[in-house]
Amino acid sequence: GLDPVAIRLRNATEPFTRTVNHLRITSNGLRECIEQVAEASGFREKHRRLPPGRGVGLAVSAYLSGAGLPIYWNDMPHSEVQIRVDRGGGVIVSCGAIDIGQGSDSVLAGVVAEVLGLDPHEISLVTADTDLTPIDLGSYSSRVTFMAGNAAVQAAQKMRDLLVAAASEHLEVEPDDLRVGDHRIHAASDPSRGVPFPEAAALAEGMFGTLTTVGSYRPPKLSGAYKGSGVGPSPAYSFSAAVVEVRVDQGTGDVTAERVWIAHDIGRAINETLVIGQIEGSVYMALGEALMEEQTFRKGLHKIPSMLEYKSPTFLEMPPVETLLVNTDDPEGPFGAKEAGQGPLLPVIPALAAAVYDAVGIRIDEIPVSPDKVLAALEQKRKGGEGRVGPRAVPPFRFRDPIKVRRAPDPPAHRDRSHGCAAADGARAGAGGSLMLRLPAFTYRAPETVDEAVRQIADAGAEGLLVAGGTDLYPNMKRRQFEPKVLVGLRAIRDLGRIAGDRRRGVGVGAGVTLAELAAHPEIREGYRALALAAGAVSTPPLRNMGTVGGNLCLDTRCNYYNQTYHWRKSIGFCMKKDGDICLVAPGSSRCWAISSSDTAPAAIALDARLRLVGPSGERLIPVAALYRDDGMEFLAKAPEEILTDIALPPADGWRTTYWKLRRRGSFDFPVLGVAAALRQAPDGTVEDARIVLGAVASRPVVAAEAAGLLRGQRPTADLIARVAQAAFQPAKPLDNADLTIGYRKRMARVYVERALRELAGLPFDGAPGGGAH
């Protein structure tokens, strides 16, 4: 049969034609997009020829350059522009178009400057102010460059005609012989005969008075002669083709986009840098939709109601993108331009899905292409099934009955808008509805010694809390999970910020050492690798620069229904962890099931570390595991006035350790699963001792002692490690209060234990330790 390139070329629409549903096509670079993206990516050489688990996919799309009809149907222009030129040559362009980051202000300045022979930086803009600017319908449907750009060109051409007429009379040169460019108006036949732009402006004002011109744009009538034909027509269409290359981890179901090639029929790039940025931004959004962004609900409650849970790609998930611009010079666009805002998004998602099929032979028919769906399709295929996941038909949907809306009362004849806004904001703030999350009022104390800090936190009693980096506490205070009256800061206690010793004798780590310092310290990296990997996997670099190892060890337990704003929690009913009396995850349970989300805790337990706690009654040294209780509310087995001062790491003594972290993204996210493993082998390869600790599967780190015991006295073969991993995942009992599904998270406990142990045993393994497990 035909390959994916050939079948698309055979069915590509032609320029200056009409589709079967009467959509008018003007310029069309779809063929060039397909050919260029296939050539640049080496698609023909890669398709069905890459190793198992790797694949490429191709897809194409078309998109409109603004809707042919306004949202509210009328015969008025869609975009209007006004240009004023003063007698000194200053140019002011007024337009209602809103630059929301797409660069429309630069486009307006660029097209006006091009017509008037100036540089874009010489154009002053007044935009998005409805008191001062003419109408523009808004930044939607990728319309601003095409529609506002055309209006700006029209206004600029009218202004140029006025300037040329004045210069013609002054120079005694026919208008047709005059050229505008390089800040001058001059004769084409004799370039030395000319006037600078400011002089031309003064001459024109003397001839015509105030120099003001207007331009507007209204799309041509494009709808067909049938009901519903008003939906879809556009004055011009862009076309795109994309190739995505992926790697699919068949053990975890994780899909990694490794490279994207995208070709876009832009018509003509007015500002090439902006266009490439727009296209790459579309690729970014498409990958987010394809791989991780979703709306999920549990018993009617949104599971991901904040940007912390709603996943979008970070820089680590953004692959290299090669952008190819295809210029077709559309006859109706400003200088031939068409849209570049949303169109390039469209082919990336199906191209990625096609690449997954090329890699592992399964079809995922809905987005996101999440790991659990990939594993389900692979399992189905292994059992002889189709290997396909997704809806088989359009889900049934019933429209609600229409709501009758009464006519709103007429507004007052006059209103002081500034005072009105202030009053409204004040009312919201007074009702506790401030638009910004703010810290509650508190007193901050900064002791310089541990003894002083112990006295101050003891004096504060129930109204006091300890804080070091504050990367978790302060956000929780903003959400009113905690409302202390006194914060006792530990940053000024220098003794807490030291690392001393070496891996031969043991290392002492102050609780105030930042996670970044811990991850980078040579003794920790060499002798206690699991702890370095865990510290380096926490959140993002800025937070690791602030957050401390002590703070991470004492990290509050987490739950999707707890770690939200006060108003969200109030709207659904408070949970027992804060302000309520029921666990929303397990309503029939008498306890809280919030999960331990510390990265460093499982690693420290696997290293057999000890913690020093100092309080009013003195100090005590305890194993790290003894710090935790299996209770989402009372999760720390220490008194509130006790301060964690340091971590004692024993001599490395031949131990090899690692830490594997499961999360949707390679940065920012809390662990959905953490696996710390430690192995010590005799010279003949037999295991003398082993430890396996699971994080984020319960309210405290879970020590898989029985599973680790299976390794002792044995050589760690692949079969033995598989049995150990099967035993290790049994104690993992995740609940539906974190990212990804319960079944997937439990299954990954076995996979991640197996990979961690294979790494330590020197056997081949997939993935990568630390937070880069994807």
pLDDT tens by residue, 686-702:
999 999 999 999 999 99
Average pLDDT over residues 128-139: 91
Please give the Cα distance from 116 to 118 (Å, whole number). 6
**Rg, the chain, Cα only:** 33
Please give the Cα distance from 246 to 54 (Å, whole number). 6
Sign of torsion over alpha carbons 653, 655, 656, 657: negative
Buried b (16+ CB within 10 A) or exposed e, 170-198: bbebeeeebebeeebbbbeeeeebbbebe
Band the pLDDT of 227: cuts 50, 70, 90: confident
Alpha carbon 387 to its chain centroid, in Å, reads 30
Average pLDDT over residues 462-490: 96
pLDDT at position 393:
86
In the chain, ranges of CATH 3.30.43.10 domains: 437-488
Return the structure tokens found at 570: 């109030």
Q: Kindly report the length of the chain.
A: 774
Average pLDDT over residues 596-623: 97
**For the segment 60-107, what is each residue's pLDDT rounded down to a tens digit?**
999 999 988 887 778 899 999 999 999 999 999 999 999 988 899 999
pLDDT at position 430:
35
Buried b (16+ CB within 10 A) or exposed e, 13-29: eeeeeeeeeebbbbbbb
Alpha carbon 67 to its chain centroid, in Å, reads 28
pLDDT at position 773:
39
Q: Which CATH number fits domain 437-488: 3.40.190.10, 3.40.50.200, 3.30.43.10, 3.40.50.1470?
A: 3.30.43.10
Task: Decide: 488 and 457 in contact? Cβ < 8 Å.
Answer: yes
pLDDT at position 621:
97
Task: Report domain 493-558+594-761's class.
Answer: alpha beta
Return the structure tokens found at 643: 């301060």
pLDDT at position 237:
95
272-291 and 348-360 helices, crossing angle to 10°: 50
Return the structure tokens found at 684: 């003949």
**For the segment 153-180, what is each residue's pLDDT rounded down to a tens digit?**
999 999 999 999 999 999 999 999 999 9
Alpha carbon 102 to its chain centroid, in Å, reads 17
pLDDT at position 770:
75
Average pLDDT over residues 107-118: 97
What percent of the chain shows pLDDT beyond 90? 81
Strand, helix or coil for residue 249: coil
Task: Decide: 485 and 465 in contact? Cβ < 8 Å.
Answer: no
A 10 A CB-CB count for 525 gives 17
Q: How much is the mean pLDDT over the chain?
A: 92
User: 654, 472, 659, 474: which is closest to 557 by C-alpha?
Assistant: 472
Task: Decide: 450 and 643 in contact? Cβ < 8 Å.
Answer: yes
Reported pTM:
0.90
Task: Decide: 277 and 271 in contact? Cβ < 8 Å.
Answer: no
Is pLDDT above 80 for 42?
A: yes
**For the segment 447-475, what is each residue's pLDDT rounded down to a tens digit?**
999 999 999 999 999 999 999 999 999 99
pLDDT at position 20:
86
User: 165, 158, 157: which is closest to 204 by C-alpha?
Assistant: 165
**For the segment 390-436, what is each residue's pLDDT rounded down to a tens digit?**
998 887 878 778 777 666 555 555 434 333 333 333 333 333 455 67
In the chain, ranges of CATH 3.30.465.10 domains: 493-558+594-761
In the chain, ranges of CATH 3.30.365.10 domains: 35-61+240-260+281-389, 79-217
User: 188, 310, 264, 231: which is closest to 67 by C-alpha?
Assistant: 231
pLDDT at position 676:
98
Average pLDDT over residues 290-308: 84
pLDDT at position 410:
57
Sign of torsion over alpha carbons 753, 754, 755, 760: positive
Is pLDDT above 50 for 340?
A: yes
A 10 A CB-CB count for 581 gives 8
**For the segment 633-689, what is each residue's pLDDT rounded down to a tens digit?**
999 999 999 999 999 999 999 999 999 999 999 999 999 999 999 999 999 999 999
Does the domain made of 35-61+240-260+281-389 have the CATH classification 3.30.365.10? yes
Task: Report domain 79-217's class.
Answer: alpha beta
Average pLDDT over residues 115-134: 94
Strand, helix or coil for residue 489: strand
What percent of the chain shows pLDDT beyond 70? 95
Q: Which residues contact 588 (CB under 8 A, 6 or more apart)?
A: none
Average pLDDT over residues 119-144: 92
Q: Which residues contact 366 (CB under 8 A, 6 or more apart)?
A: 373, 389, 390, 391
Band the pLDDT of 299: cuts 50, 70, 90: confident
pLDDT at position 771:
61
pLDDT at position 101:
87
Q: Assign residue 215 a region: left if phi > 0, alpha if psi is -120 to 50, beta otherwise? A: beta
Between strands 610-615 and 321-327, the pairing is unpaired
Distances (CA, A) of 139 to 158, 230, 236, 272: 25, 20, 17, 20
